Amino acid sequence: MIKIVMIIVLVGLALSVFFFLVNTGSGENMNTAVYTEDHEPRIGHVELQVSDLDESAQFYEDLIGFSVLERSGSTVELTADGTSPQLILTHNNNFEARSPRTTGLYHLAILVPTRQDLALSIQHLTASGYPLQGAADHQYSEALYLADPDGNGIEIYTDRNPKEWVRDDNGGYVGATDQLDLENLFAEVGDAEWDGLAEGTRIGHMHLQASDLEASEAFYVDALGFDIVAQDSHMLFVSKDAYHHNIGMNTWMGTDIPQPSENTLGLKRFTFHLTEDEYREAKAGLTEGNFQFEEENEALMVEDPTGVELKLILKSE
């Protein structure tokens, strides 16, 4: 069984996301807090515009493992913790297909607590016959890749102990795209059986398809105060709390690609939680950078350079 699963998953390995050695000078100033389930999630929820609400809801419930928190009209709220929405699906008959060569979502990344949880997800998806796109060991994490019925990229991953994450001389993280050791991973399963996403699952990071990394850096780093943790000529990873990345951006499809229309299928917005100091600094940075934003109920609403709506929320301390 293990050998069969390994073959199926590794067929798509070439389609995995590629990571590179990083080059950044911001590492020395990073917060050293560990990004674990003991801390409030940085990313609250992700909103996707879908072509078929029933099909997408069934996919995310039956195959990925979310539970339906609430369903109302053209919206389904999904959760892994049973209390707060982590993925919100909306449908409108006017939604249109997204061109691959536009800015927006590259993938949303679901962080599961343990290697056993990742192994169970891989086994479950493989047994279902749903097509997988790849799997990889990124040094600081182990990951599986696939897409939802509308082609939205999904990563399901688990982090290694942060003490094992490798940094370069400048303080940034050294990533990799190595073969995932599935036999070793499946040894974690034991007698456990898949029963949906485990308690403690969260949206770990967002990866966006960008058109101008300088514009993205001006927005996320200069205005919002994120730290650069990985960077080369075609990618930029930024984070808070010294995480390996909360938000990734790439121009692998080229530069100066257009933004999709408001009615395009795919990522509509996501929320990100900030401390009181970070919130104040972000507001000042957006103002100084002449970015248009709105503020309501301790939340800043702004559009990033890829056209994705970002809601910055003052988090509880």
**71-117 pLDDT, tens digit each:** 999 999 999 999 999 999 999 999 999 999 999 999 999 999 999 99
Q: pLDDT category, 260, cuts 50, 70, 90?
A: very high
Does residue 18 have a pLDDT over 70? Answer: no
Per-residue confidence (pLDDT) for residue 236, from 0 to 100: 96
Per-residue confidence (pLDDT) for residue 10, from 0 to 100: 42
Does residue 2 have a pLDDT over 80? Answer: no
Question: How do 202-209 and 293-295 pair as beta strands?
Answer: unpaired
Provide the terminal-to-terminal Cα distance of the chain, rounded to the nearest Å. 46
Q: How far is CA 118 from CA 92, 155, 198, in A?
A: 33, 11, 10
Per-residue confidence (pLDDT) for residue 35, from 0 to 100: 53
Does residue 3 have a pLDDT over 70? Answer: no
Q: pLDDT category, 136, cuts 50, 70, 90?
A: very high
Per-residue confidence (pLDDT) for residue 317, from 0 to 100: 61
More confident residue, 5 or 176: 176
Q: pLDDT category, 164, cuts 50, 70, 90?
A: confident
Q: How far is CA 147 from CA 115, 122, 154, 202, in A?
A: 21, 14, 5, 18
In the block, residue with structure tokens 């929820």: 45
Per-residue confidence (pLDDT) for residue 177, from 0 to 100: 82
Average model confidence (pLDDT) across the chain: 88
Asked whether 268 and 98 are in contact (CB, 8 A), the reply is no
Per-residue confidence (pLDDT) for residue 14, from 0 to 100: 36
In the block, residue with structure tokens 């109920």: 297
Q: pLDDT category, 11, cuts 50, 70, 90?
A: very low
Distance CA 23, CA 169 (A): 9
Per-residue confidence (pLDDT) for residue 37, from 0 to 100: 57
Domains, the chain, in order of start with CATH, read 2-314 (3.10.180.10)
Per-residue confidence (pLDDT) for residue 167, from 0 to 100: 83
- What does the DSSP 8-state code read for residue 239? E
Q: How do residues 201-253 score in pLDDT, each as one tens digit?
A: 999 999 999 999 999 999 999 999 999 998 999 999 999 988 999 999 999 99
Tokens of 235: 């990618």
Q: How do residues 43-56 score in pLDDT, each as one tens digit?
A: 999 999 999 999 99
Per-residue confidence (pLDDT) for residue 171, from 0 to 100: 74
Does residue 64 have a pLDDT over 80? Answer: yes
Per-residue confidence (pLDDT) for residue 174, from 0 to 100: 81
